Amino acid sequence: MKIIKVKDYKELSNMVSEIIIKEIRKKPNLTIGFATGKSPLGAYKNLIREHKKGKVDFSRIKTFNLDEYYPINADDKKSYRAYMFNNIFNKINIKKDNINLLDGTAKNFKKECEDYEDKIKKNPIDLQIVGIGVNGHIGFNEPGSTIVSRTRLVDLASETIKRNKYLGKALTMGISTILKSKRIILLASGKEKARAVRDFIIGDIDKNIPASFLRKSKNLIVIIDKEAGSLL
């Protein structure tokens, strides 16, 4: 695990977008695992800006998103599908066919999850971006999730229901799914993440802190700002 400490959210976002751009230049058909939430938003803004300047071409990349609420209507603004299209996909030259999202409207959630696993197996993720929840979750792998977990339907922890203001379940890549990524970048910014960051980095590798399982990855980069790293 490589830990990079930066000053603030701006520096964190710059570092993440620079890594993504560098990797796309090396491999134009890079498969990226994207995350939602506040943590990657600054990096997405940078990617859009650099794309507008003609500095990066997304036409050959493929993407997989970590998670989605379930069930959720196709036109629900809260959906992670809406988040991705509004915050990045509609603003870069990505091909719609290369976008993979868990479908929160799928009737057969089991099949949806199995198909997603299969697709990832066929298109291994080169670079997976993940945020961390205040309770140490990654994607929607809440405390109690195991290292062998695969893409599945999960119950949300009560603090997640409160914070995300969503009363329902979710579909999420499992921890084993995420760990198959060739490289993982975990981002954390702000004081509210300090405890989760401390616990996942220096605590035991344990299902109570699902992010701790990422330490099993051979290529994990953790980028944290001063506040998120304040308890280390």
Residues forming the site for ligand GLP (CB under 6 A): 35-39, 66-67, 131, 133, 139-140, 160, 164
Q: What residue spans of the chain are helical by DSSP H?
A: 9-26, 41-52, 80-87, 109-122, 158-164, 175-179, 194-202
| Whole-Å CA distances, 48 to 69, 87, 185 | 25, 9, 19
Instruction: State the minimum distance, in angstroms, from the CB of residue 60 to ligand GLP.
Output: 25
Provide the token pair at 2: 């490589």
Closer CB to ligand GLP, residue 48 or residue 130? 130
CA–CA distance, 141 with 200 (Å, rounded to integer): 14
State residue 156 phi and psi, 5-degree precision.
-90, 145
What positions carry a catalytic annotation?
67, 135, 137, 142
Closer CB to ligand GLP, residue 95 or residue 215? 215
Instruction: State the minimum distance, in angstroms, from the CB of residue 222 to ligand GLP.
Output: 13
Closer CB to ligand GLP, residue 91 or residue 163? 163
Instruction: State the minimum distance, in angstroms, from the CB of residue 37 to ligand GLP.
Output: 3
